[in-house]
Structure formats: C-alpha cells, structure tokens
Copies of this chain bind each other. A is one copy, B any other.
Amino acid sequence: MQTLSVDLGDRSYPIYIGHGLLRNPDLYTPHIKGRQVLIVTNETVAPIYLDDVKSALTDYQVDTVILPDGEKYKDLDTLNLIFDELLERRHNRTTTLIALGGGVVGDMTGFAAASYQRGVNFIQVPTTLLSQVDSSVGGKTGVNHPLGKNMIGAFHQPQCVIADTDTLETLPLAEMAAGMAEVIKYGLITDAEFYEWLQDNVASLMAGDAESLADAIYRSCDNKAKVVAQDEREGGIRAILNLGHTFGHAIEAHQGYGNWLHGEAVGAGMMMAADLSRRLGYLNKDEEHALLRLLQAAHLPVKGPADMTCEDYVSRMAVDKKVLDGALRLVLLKGIGEAYITSEVPRDLLDETLIACGAKP
C-alpha cells in the first residue's frame, strides 16, 4: 500500500492506494469520530462491494443509501435521498458519510456531507480510475443543474480516501479510458516526465496491470495535490486542472449529461486545447500527433460529436464557470508539462480548432 498525504493545513488527509483495502477496518476507524456511518453507493456498485465495506464497519450503526447509477441523477432531487436517510435514521453531527462508487457518488456524497447540518465528515472510497485520480483530491463536491454542470456545490475535504485498485478489475473499458483522460491530463499540465512514462506504459495500464495502475494513481494524485495545495479555493493556478474541461463540459451539456462520459469529453477537449495551442504557436505538429496517438491508445475520442456547431460550443462555454466577467478563459499549453490560462483567444482560431476537431462551421 502506498500512502499519499494531501497537505491542506488542518484539512490535510491521506490517500491510501493499493489492493485489498476496501475491507480493511484499520483504514476507516481512525477517520470516524462518532458511532454512525452512512454508506452512499449506487445500484451498480452495491452488489459488488457494499458487503465488503460493511464488513469493515461492524462496530458502528451502518445505514445505506443506494442511488440510481448515472450522471443524469446527479441533481438536487437525488441528493435529497441522502438527506432523507440521514434524518430518518437520526444521524447527528458526528456522523460520517462514506462515498462508495465513482465520481457521481463521490461528488453527491461530498456535497451532502458539506450541507448536512452545515457540515459533517466523509470518506471517499472511489471505485473507478477516474474518481481515484480526480475526485480524490481537491475537495470539489456538488450536483448538476439542467443549465450547467457542477453549478451547485461546495468545497469540502474528505477525512481520507481509500483507492483500492482491485475495484478496477470490474471496470468497463470505456470507464478505464475515461480515467486515463485525467491521468494524461496531469502529465500534460505539470509533469512532462510522467507524460513520457505514460506513453511507454499506456498498454499495460489499459490491460489492467495493478502495479502500473497504482503508480499512475499515486503520480496523478500527487500532481493534483501539489496544484490544489497552492490554491485550495480555485482563485488562480488551480484552474489549469481544467485543461480540456471547458470544451468537454460544452460537449457534455450539449449531448445531455451522461451520453458522453465526462472523461471522454475531456479527452476530446484536450485534443482541442492542444490543437488551439499549436495554432497559437506553442505546440508543434509532432507533439500534437503524439497526444493523438496516446489518446487513441487509451481508447479515447480525439474529436467532438459530429452534430455540434462552433456556435453550440461557444454558447455552452460562455455559461461555464471558467468565464470571468464575460471573457472566455481557456487553459492551453505552452509545451508538454506546462499549462497556462488565457482569456485572449481569437474567435477565428477557436473556430478553426473546433472545425478541425469535428464541429460543423
């Protein structure tokens, strides 16, 4: 087992990475302060892992909420199912919520923990590669609104994260790919050496090699933690974590949440960011092609959906959180491992990129 410490002053917490962790009581106990626990999971994950987690928590009042599976249920109504259970089972302020599942379960459980009685503790047990590398670090929690993704939420840090690589054995290929999008992102934005390692190891990662996966998870979380530690509330540098996401959110919003996996949309979005970076004179053709090959090896889309126009992108991107006082801000690359933020992107170049990446004019 590897342990990574996310350093956020009195909100610091450990991430445990390895196999067989899910059912280990010693990883939970130090992070539960009361006698009550609520496990929040979904109908896909529950049959596989719920009993394992319960078996590690025999000393507590353990209650369970099983949510419907999918991004389209990441809304206020579904969130309320968690509050219903907490109140029906009389959970008090010392309760601990446990998020067992992917990013949707993690984001909703985290927001429920942030809001229940104005804030209780929670533990993340991410069961997808995406949530292990992405939702584990950063404290972002929330739900979607029909007009925008993650528009309602809070910053709320977990007590610990338990990333059990065994859970990746049951993960569908498309979800492995979605996780790889974020893994690749960490290389692109801050860690050229890791990016090179990924090009050499993408095949074994996609084949599910546990040791490579643990290394990739550790390195991804470490890279993200270093960015977040500099900027916990996303005032500045932290925005580089959104490489590919402004494009990606536009795709997800236009297609209807859940029809494109978040990571897939980010994959196509990173290709757009790289293409636009090249047009602005920063990346060369070889670097752009290397990214294309890496995304393809990770089974990720390199173009957006065929039915979106440039205007579809731009109007969706205008409502994205990354818009500051009307100016569209984008995360682009000065080179591999070096992201930057700009609000000065000529509309004609943006359109050229969108069209090159599959959009209709």
Binding site for B on A (CB under 8 A): 34-35, 76, 79-80, 83-84, 87-88, 90, 92-94, 114-119, 140, 142, 145, 147-148, 150-155, 233-234, 318-319, 321, 323-326
Contact = CB atoms under 8 A, between A and B. Distances in A.
Given A76-B76, A115-B152, A147 B87 contact: yes
Contacts of A93: 321, 324
B321 A115 contact: no
11 contacts: A34-B325, A35-B325, A87-B145, A87-B148, A88-B147, A92-B325, A115-B153, A116-B152, A117-B153, A118-B140, A119-B154
Contacts of A234: 118
Contacts of A117: 151, 153, 321
A147 B87 CA distance: 6
Contacts of A84: 145, 147
A92 B151 contact: no
Contacts of A233: 119
Contacts of A319: 87, 90
Q: What's the number of copies of this chain in the assembled complex?
A: 2
B325 A153 contact: no
B155 A118 contact: yes
B154 A142 contact: no
Which residue, A90, A152, A318, has most C-beta atoms of chain B within 10 A? A152
A83 B142 CA distance: 13
A318 B154 CA distance: 28
Nearest to A80: B76
A118 to B, nearest CB: 5
Contacts of A324: 92-94
Contacts of A152: 83, 115-116
